[in-house]
Amino acid sequence: MEKTRCAKCGFESEENLKQFGSDICKICNSFSPESSEEFKEYLNEKISSSHLDSFRKNFKSKGMPQKNGMIQKASQGEVMSRPPFGYSFENKKLIPAQNSDEVREIFEEFLQSNLSLRTLSKKHNLSVNGLKKVLRNFTYIGKVKFNKQIHEGFHTPLVSSTLFNHVQSKLERLGIKRN
Please give the pLDDT value at position 144.
Answer: 86
User: Which pTM was predicted?
Assistant: 0.61
Backbone angles phi, psi at 4, to 5 degrees: -125, 165
Provide the residue ranges of all domains of the chain, joining segments of one domain with +: 4-62, 78-173
Collect contacts of 145-150 with beta carbons under 8 A, ≥24 apart: 145/74, 146/70, 146/71, 146/74, 146/80, 147/67, 147/70, 147/71, 147/74, 148/34, 149/71, 149/74, 149/75
pLDDT lower than 70: segments of the chain: 1, 57-65, 80, 178-179
In this structure, CATH architecture of domain 78-173: Alpha-Beta Complex (3.90)
Q: What is residue 53's predicted lDDT score, i.e. its pLDDT?
A: 76
